[in-house]
Chain A
């Protein structure tokens, strides 16, 4: 069965801290994605990666960066956390090609105090 694993279910950090969210997939997928989910706003794409070391900005990349050094791992970095980055963060992966479904992790609920 396909599996996307996010390192933490809940995380509490302080304003100004550098925060790392980790995601690992075991399906050998080329594409990986980071979203944030807020009530009434659906899923908004932060960054995605279509290959190792390759990345592209999504719709809301400001304040975030990403790293993909290995195919199975995609990291989201909050360079200097702010309270408006308190949210649910979802990682997903998919095979290359149009119309491929995305497989999601269970999310990390991040609170910035």
Chain B
């Protein structure tokens, strides 16, 4: 069974601060997806990274896939209250069934 360890579990910061969320595994994944979930809603995809060492930017969010495709990070620059939510990383396997292994999630709260 593949496992993804996500840290930290909780993050409470002030508006304008930077933060990083980590996702680590001993297994190799074919892809790594990041989702964001707001209260009362299902997770929504933010980004997919597929190549070792890949970096993708989405406005103030920077996603990186580790060289060995076993880990990933999400960095948010100058966090805003609108970034508040649950962030989930999910590792993809190599079959067409599309199964994902999810991390435990990081609850981010950005205070004005």
CB of A56 within 8 A of CB of B97, answer: yes
Residues of B within 8 A of A113 (CB): none
Whether A102 contacts B45 in the complex (CB less than 8 A), given A50-B97, A59-B1, comes out as yes
Counting residue pairs across A and B whose Cβ atoms lie within 8 Å, the total is 74
Question: A44, A56, A92, A98: which contacts B31 (Cβ < 8 A)?
Answer: A98
Return the CB mask of B87-107 against A: 1 if under 8 Å, else 0: 010101111111110111100
Within 8 Å of chain A (Cβ to Cβ): is B62? Answer: no
Question: A4, A33, A35, A97: which contacts B96 (Cβ < 8 A)?
Answer: A97
Return the CB mask of B20-55 against A: 1 if under 8 Å, else 0: 000000000011010000001111110010100000
Residues of B within 8 A of A105 (CB): 42
Closest A residue to B30 by beta carbon equals: A98
Whether A99 contacts B50 in the complex (CB less than 8 A), given A41-B104, A42-B105, comes out as yes
Return the CB mask of A26-62 against B: 1 if under 8 Å, else 0: 0000010101000011111100101000001011000
Residues on B lying within 8 angstroms of A by beta carbon are 1, 6, 9, 30-31, 33, 40-45, 48, 50, 88, 90, 92-100, 102-105
Q: A43-B88, A101-B48, A106-B40 given; name 15 further pairs at CB < 8 Å.
A: A31-B97, A41-B104, A43-B90, A48-B99, A96-B98, A98-B30, A98-B92, A98-B94, A98-B98, A99-B30, A99-B31, A101-B45, A102-B45, A102-B98, A102-B100
Residues on A lying within 8 angstroms of B by beta carbon are 4, 31, 33, 35, 40-45, 48, 50, 56, 58-59, 90, 92, 94-107
